[in-house]
Amino acid sequence: MFRIGNGYDVHKLVLGRKLILGGVEIPYEKGLLGHSDADVLIHAIMDALLGACGKRDIGFMFPDTDDAYKDISSLILLERVYEEIKKLGYGISNIDSIIVAQEPKLSPYIDGMRSNIAFVLGMELDRINIKATTTEGLGFVGMGEGMASYAVACLYAFEDR
């Protein structure tokens, strides 16, 4: 049995924060605002994974009212989501994701992002896809006010239920 989940996340860009995407620190004058490291890519991936196994979103699992998650690496949160998925009897077939950002150019960092995610999830690189696109100057992303990410995850059951 296969299950598919979709994830979406968005964060505001601000001065004085590091820009972390896929667990990679990217040199840029702004970073994403959030309770954790605000890694919009990993947040979308986690929501896709949780959705595929019928669980609530990351805001429910890791509430921003809990200081235990203040500035935490989203790679750590991804590892916790993966443990939950395995407890429910699922493995990850593949992940496909898109980062939507006007700046900076992300292509030099995508391989590092894929490697980080593959390592945490114990997956081969060819089962994790990350693309980056712009909005051609349109909307809050195009105006440089924030970034968004979309993800789709396909899970398989270890045993048919």
Domain extents for the chain?
A: 2-91+134-157
Q: Token pair for residue 150? A: 């979309």
Overall average pLDDT of the 35-45 stretch = 96
Is 47 marked as binding a ligand? Answer: no
- 66 assigned binding-site residue: yes
Confidence of residue 161 (pLDDT cuts 50, 70, 90): very low
Residue 146 marked in a binding site: no
- 64 annotated ligand binder: yes
Asked if residue 11 belongs to a known ligand binding site, the reply is yes
Half-sphere exposure of residue 136: CA atoms within 13 angstroms, side-chain side = 0
Q: Binding site annotation covers 35?
A: yes
Report which secondary-structure segment, H or E, holds 158. none
Does the annotation list 73 as a binding residue?
no
| 37 labeled part of a ligand binding site | no
What is the CATH number assigned to the segment(s) 2-91+134-157? 3.30.1330.50
Is 2 annotated for ligand binding? no
Interatomic CA distance for residues 103 and 52, integer angstroms: 31
Question: What pLDDT does residue 34 have?
Answer: 93
> What does pTM read for this prediction?
0.95
36 known member of a binding site: yes
Calculate the average pLDDT of the chain. 95
Q: Tell me whether residue 133 is annotated as binding.
A: yes
The answer to whether 63 is annotated as binding is yes
CA nearest neighbour of 77 among 124, 38, 127: 38
**Does residue 122 surpass a pLDDT of 90?**
yes
Percent of all residues in the chain with a pLDDT value above 90, rounded to a whole number: 89
111 assigned binding-site residue: no
Residue 160 has pLDDT above 70, yes or no: no
